[in-house]
Every structure is written in C-alpha cells, then in structure tokens.
C-alpha cells in the first residue's frame, strides 16, 4: 500500500515537471519568434533606408553635375560677351578724372600743399609700404592701386575733410575710405614704426647731445611732454576721457630730439589721466626704472663733484624728478639766481617738444578735430601721423606758415598739472650737478 502511494506521488511530480518544461519551451519559442521578427523588421528598415539614401545621393550628384554644367556655361557666356558685373562697384567718372589730374597735372607746390610732402618723399614712402598695400587683381574686380590708397589716406590725414568729401573727391565709396584709413594706418605702424621712431643710439645719440648742448642744456637726449588729441564722446567710460578743459581726448606722450623728431611715443591714455600717471604707465618709464635710471648707455655719463650725471630727458613740472628725467625747480619765489638760470635753460631746451607738437598737428590736421572714428582706431592714426611727421622732418620738407595749428576756442589744450610727490635725494643731487656745469 505504501509503495503504491509513493509511486503515485512520484508520477504526479514528474507530470508537473513535464508541464512546467513544456510551458518554458513554449515561452522560449515565442521569444525566439519575436526576436526573429524584430531582426526581419530591422533588416527590412535598414534595406529601405539604404535604398532611400542611395536615391538621395544619386539625385544630389545629379543636381550638382547640372549646377556645374550651368555655371560653366554661364561663365563661358560671360567671358565670350565680356560682360562686366555692375554689382561690384559704381563708376565714378569725376573721381577717375580727379585722380588722373593729381598724378599728371599737380606740380610740386600743389603736391606739398595737399599731401604735406613732396612727390619724391611720397614715392619713397610708397616704396616702403607697397608690399603691404598692394592687393591681388582678380577676374571679377580690379583693386585700387597702392599709390591711390596711400594718397586717399594722406589727403584725409592732412585735411579736416569728412569721409564723404574724400570719397566724392577720389571717386570711391564712403566705406572704402573708412577701410583704407584702417588698413593704411595699420600698415604704416607695422612697417615703419621701428624704422623711424626709436630712442637715439651711437652717432644719433651723440648728435642729440650736441644739439641740446647748443641749445644751452648739456647731457640731454630728448624732451618729453604730452598733448591731447580730440575724440568723439566714447561709449565706454566717457567721463575718463574728459580732460580738465571739458572736452574728450586721448593723450599722446612723446619724446622729441633736438631736431623736432619723435624718438618715443605712447598714445591712447584717456584724456582725464594726469601726465605723471601717463608716464608711469608707459613702456619708457618701465624701461628706465628696470635699467636703474640709465635710459641711455652708462658710458656716456659724466661725473661732476662726485655725482654721476647720466644722459637724461627733460620735462616740465607735471613729471616726477628722476635720475633719467630732469625738471625745473619749483617754488619760484624762493629760487637762487643759479636755480633761475637752470630753469630758463631747461625751459628753452624743452621748447623742441612744443614745436614738434605744433608741426605735427599743423601738418596732419585730422588731429585738430573730433574724428568720427572708433576710439580703438585713434592710437593707430596718431602713430601713423607721428611716423609721417618724422619722414617729412628727416627729408627736410618745408612747413608752410598757413599750416600753423590753431585749436578752436572749445578745444584749447588743458593747463599743466604740477606733480607734487616727494623728490628723492639722488635725482636732486643729479640736478644740482647739472646746474653746476651750466
């Protein structure tokens, strides 16, 4: 009886296991069928996508080939008929006639009057700048020649004319004049700055020393001062550019030698910045301080009464007293006769920098008015004018009396703001030594 019951129980267990395995086999079969259907669907989609992509690429290549054939046909027609596209530029008959007249009919006096230099000096400047100003000639458009590019910008720099007037005169677009001013001034700065503006060395330094000695002040290689260049009201920090006279400007700091040529310039500081702060932020100041006050070679220094006098610059009361920068004695009511004589000699020698600024602004009159240009472009324009000033001075170009710079009543140069910092004993001893040899 017990054996029969055990057999029946085992049979039931085996039957249950069989049914469970049958159900699992059915489940796996359904899963396998589902995966097979998914694989078929994926393969079908991939096939359809590949066929669609192939049709698209075939159609795209067909359209591209058709476009190239049409473009080649249109180009061939244009070349055969010699059609000139009028979209590139407008014909300015008057401007072409004016430029031809300038080249062929202007005599030396007219050339100097309008371009501020003789034709020969103009050609020498052009020779230096031509690689930077020449543009490639294409089948679609003939660019302006380098000579005309330089002439347009020099005309704009030398006259208070607006962009529109210069554009009409030379027969170019207003935007073309704007672009040329940027390009040519940048080319002048990039190509000619180090060539024409640098502190004197060697024979040039000895010539400067002799020149200032003849003016009554020894051991001097240049005079430093600052002037203000008018600008339109800037969008950013307009209050910083408002100088003590109430008009907006940027500051040009310059060192000038005995022949009224610039040997160092620093331009771009806002007009509200004092001269002493402009100096301390300039590369000239950092160079002098890093060289322990010897801005020029120490072998040119001179020892008087046990005090070494380095070759130095001279400035006005707006600057601090340094071994490399001498200025006048202050407190004029308590000066000795020797100190008064020192002040007179230093002031007389320092007139070269004022003369240089007057000739700079008189020759390049764009520096006398508020130019409608971006404030970021002003330093390049001023730098270019300083370089061209040196070119004219070195080539002995005449400065006509009618060019004398006269600012309007509303653009008078700000008064000098004296520096009131403490004076170290070392620079004072150098000044005393200089005074003893005058």
Q: Give the list of residues 6+ apart from residue 370 with CB closer than 8 angstroms, or none.
A: 230, 231, 232, 248
Residue 404 carries which DSSP code? Answer: -
Whole-number Å distance between alpha carbons of 153 and 137: 21
CA distances from 180 to 50, 119, 137 (A): 55, 20, 17
Quote the DSSP letter at residue 232: P
Residue 37: its pLDDT value, please?
A: 85
Closest CA to 396 of 202, 7, 121: 121
* Residue 159, Cβ density class (10 Å: 0-12 exposed, 13-18 middle, ≥19 buried): middle
**pLDDT (0 to 100) of residue 178:** 93
> Which residues of the chain register pLDDT less than 70?
1-4, 80-95, 139-141, 333, 405-410
Radius of gyration of the chain from Cα atoms? 40
pTM assigned to the model: 0.77
Nearest Cα residue to 403 out of 161, 158, 152: 158
pLDDT of residue 135: 83
Contacts of 269 (CB under 8 A, 6+ apart): 250, 251, 253, 277, 278, 281
Location of structure tokens 């001023």 = 382
For 178, residues 6+ apart whose C-beta sits below 8 A from its C-beta are 163
In the chain, what are the domain boundaries?
A: 93-195, 198-437
User: Which DSSP symbol is given to 242?
Assistant: B
- Contact between 413 and 318 under an 8 Å Cβ cutoff? The reply is no
Q: For residue 408, what pLDDT is reported? A: 54
Per the listing, tokens 């707006």 go with 318
- For residues 264 and 199, the answer to whether their CB atoms sit within 8 Å is yes
């Amino acid at each position: 009886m017990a054996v029969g019951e055990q057999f029946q129980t085992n049979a039931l267990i085996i039957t249950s296991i069989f049914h469970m395995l049958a159900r699992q086999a059915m489940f796996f079969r359904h899963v396998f069928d589902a995966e097979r259907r998914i694989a078929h669907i994926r393969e079908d989609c991939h096939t359809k996508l590949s066929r669609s992509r192939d049709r698209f690429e075939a159609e795209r290549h067909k359209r591209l080939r058709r476009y190239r054939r049409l473009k080649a046909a249109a180009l061939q027609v244009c070349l055969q008929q010699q059609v000139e596209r009028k979209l590139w530029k407008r014909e300015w008959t008057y401007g072409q006639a004016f430029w031809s007249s300038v080249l062929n009919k202007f005599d030396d006096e007219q050339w100097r009057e309008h371009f501020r230099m003789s034709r020969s000096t103009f050609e020498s400047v052009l020779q230096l700048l031509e690689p930077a100003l020449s543009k490639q000639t294409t089948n679609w458009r003939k660019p302006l020649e380098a000579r005309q590019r330089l002439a347009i910008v020099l005309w704009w720099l030398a006259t208070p004319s607006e962009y529109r007037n210069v554009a009409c005169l030379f027969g170019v677009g207003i935007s073309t004049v704007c672009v040329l001013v940027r390009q040519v001034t940048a080319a002048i700065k990039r190509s000619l700055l180090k060539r024409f503006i640098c502190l004197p060395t060697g024979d040039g330094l000895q010539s400067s020393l002799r020149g200032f000695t003849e003016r009554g002040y020894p051991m001097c290689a240049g005079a430093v001062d600052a002037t203000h260049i008018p600008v339109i009201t800037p969008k950013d920090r307009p209050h910083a550019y408002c100088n003590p006279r109430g008009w907006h400007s940027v500051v040009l700091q310059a060192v000038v030698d005995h022949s009224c040529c610039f040997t160092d310039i620093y331009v771009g500081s806002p007009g509200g910045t004092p001269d002493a702060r402009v100096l301390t932020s300039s590369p000239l100041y950092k160079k002098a301080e890093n060289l322990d006050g010897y801005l020029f070679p120490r072998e040119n220094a001179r020892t008087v009464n046990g005090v070494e006098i380095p070759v130095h610059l001279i400035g006005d009361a707006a600057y601090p007293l340094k071994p490399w920068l001498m200025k006048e004695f202050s407190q004029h009511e308590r000066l000795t006769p020797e100190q008064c004589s020192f002040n007179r000699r230093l002031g007389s020698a320092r007139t070269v920098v004022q003369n240089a600024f007057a000739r700079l602004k008189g020759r390049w009159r764009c520096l006398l008015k508020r130019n409608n240009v971006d404030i970021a472009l002003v330093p390049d324009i001023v730098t270019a004018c300083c370089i061209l000033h040196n070119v004219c001075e070195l080539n002995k170009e005449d400065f006509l009396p009618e060019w004398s710079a006269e600012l309007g009543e509303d653009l008078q140069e700000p008064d000098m703001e004296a520096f009131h910092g403490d004076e170290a004993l070392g620079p004072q001893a150098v000044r005393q030594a200089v005074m003893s040899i005058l």
